[in-house]
Amino acid sequence: MKKGIPQKSTFSAWFDAVLKEGEFIDIRYGVKGFIVYRPNSMSIVKGLYHMFESELKKNNHAEALFPLFIPYSSFKKESEHIKGFEDETFMVERAGGEELDEKLIIRPTSETAIYPMYSLWVRSYNDLPLKLFQSVAVYRYETKSTRPLLRGREFLWIETHDLFLNEEEAKAQIMEDLRVASKIYDSIGLSFIITEREPFDRFPGAVESYAYDAVLPTGEVLQIATTHYLGQNFTRPFDVGVLNKEGKRVLPFSTCCGIGISRSLGALIATHGDDHGAIVPVGLGMLDVIIIPIYHGGINNDVLNYATKVRDEVSLSGLNVTLDTSELTPGEKFYHWELRGIPIRVEIGEKEVNQNVVTIFRRDNGVRKVVELTKMGSELNVLKEEINRELSNRGRDVLSKALQEVRTKEELLKASKQKSIMLADFCGRKECADEIRNASGGFEIRGRPLNLDYKLMDKCVWCGNKSLRKVIIAKAY
């Protein structure tokens, strides 16, 4: 009998149960906001890292690794940056039983770790552009209630830190960052909105901030990646100067991009999962195919041998496959692997052996298909594409269902009760943003959308003053 997890409509309980019962995450480590990634989630984490890292390298980024600790003197050099992060940093004040001469900040992000080194490395325009990334965990003392993967105090990410001789190249980098992230988020079927954040909502020290908000099944949005144009705000205080072609010393322009791997994993499970558990796209998890031998009574050696032969053939096709020979009943095995989101199941019983066929079950739509053994390889190749395409289509549906254009205060308040994601005209004033948040129960101006079509109207949805731009208004997770 199925133990069962809560229905997905009760999202919070469902999400926690999938992470726990599916053995993705363990929250019992004992430090608030810190979780343990078990093998089922680490395989997806590694897959996500690999996808982003190879795309970054294709676009001329190189990998580096900077220390976890940032000297306090470096950390406080950019004034906006320190204001924005000081209240949420972890700090080391003692070591070896002694008070440290200089306090050490545990990186909440690494600009202030990296720029002092950049000031030593770049000398002339020939050293630019400099495009580095690192794949690490960062630490922020999150004061809101923490949730595994979605809001933690330690989270996995990739951060890029790029220097350019001129402003145009730096701004072109922002567009490249947006293309890279869009390509990957599209390929794993996440539903997302890219926005330019409002001036009052920028990354501390940034001139322009852009963000990826994943759309969760609850209608809430989750910031999963950001990219920022920093102008000379970091090269100036860290004195990162180069000699230009004319031999004059100039300050480079810089950008940074943060890709939240923990949150991307959380959004992936939240978006694709169903009442039976997680659904992982083909090629991303620990397993793509699970083979279940079905016996009536004791072990049937014909079935087992045939299943072993099938496993060997599947593994030739490059898919990650395992044959489940445990003592669980077939029903228990189905439940076990469905919960973990394995996208393809191959069922093998006496019927399959006698007819020289396999029964293939798709986790995403629950459809079973009997296929001749000789055609299994080509069938799996087709399925691999189809399943991932289906997940991407569903991801896009999540957004189109949740998105609603609102033109008046009344429409805005009504849409907030329906948990919609709103598209509205906005005057750009923080006062309006604050009033909207208070009146709607927490809906925020997320910024001007870059990946949606719309027509600008003339009046702010809230105050009726002249509208400066269309914005997304949504509740953040």
In Å, what is the CA distance from 53 to each residue of 133, 137, 184, 200, 282? 9, 15, 11, 31, 19
Residues that bind Zn ion (rule: CB under 5 A) add up to a total of 5
As a whole number of angstroms, the distance between CA 54 and CA 51 comes to 6
Nearer to Zn ion, 4 or 464 (CB): 464
Nearer to Zn ion, 82 or 432 (CB): 432
* Least distance from Zn ion to the Cβ atom of residue 459, Å: 8
Range in contact with Zn ion (rule: CB under 5 A) among 147-155, 298-306, 403-411, 454-462: 454-462
* Least distance from Zn ion to the Cβ atom of residue 202, Å: 19
One-letter amino acid at 438 equals N
Range in contact with Zn ion (rule: CB under 5 A) among 61-69, 85-93, 321-329, 457-465: 457-465
* Least distance from Zn ion to the Cβ atom of residue 211, Å: 21
The correct pick among 104, 122, 427, 433 for binding Zn ion (CB under 5 A) is 427
As a whole number of angstroms, the distance between CA 209 and CA 423 comes to 19
The correct pick among 117, 432, 452, 476 for binding Zn ion (CB under 5 A) is 432
Helix (H/G/I), strand (E/B), else coil: 441: coil
* Least distance from Zn ion to the Cβ atom of residue 186, Å: 33
**Long-range CB pairs of 459-462, under 8 A, 24+ apart, other chains included:** 459/425, 460/425, 460/426, 460/427, 460/429, 460/432, 461/406, 461/407, 461/408, 461/409, 461/411, 461/412, 461/424, 461/425, 461/426, 462/409, 462/412, 462/426, 462/427, 462/432, 462/435, 462/436
Nearer to Zn ion, 100 or 463 (CB): 463
Nearer to Zn ion, 289 or 424 (CB): 424
| Residue corresponding to tokens 């989750």 | 222
Nearer to Zn ion, 268 or 471 (CB): 471
Length of the chain: 477
The correct pick among 462, 471, 474, 477 for binding Zn ion (CB under 5 A) is 462
CB 193 within 8 A of CB 421: yes
As a whole number of angstroms, the distance between CA 429 and CA 233 comes to 24
The correct pick among 460, 471, 473, 474 for binding Zn ion (CB under 5 A) is 460
Q: How many helices (H) and strands (E) does the chain have?
A: 13, 23
* Least distance from Zn ion to the Cβ atom of residue 469, Å: 11
Binding to Zn ion by residue 413, rule CB under 5 A?
Answer: no
Nearer to Zn ion, 17 or 432 (CB): 432
* Least distance from Zn ion to the Cβ atom of residue 402, Å: 23
* Least distance from Zn ion to the Cβ atom of residue 449, Å: 18
Chain contacts with Zn ion (rule: CB under 5 A): 427, 432, 460, 462-463
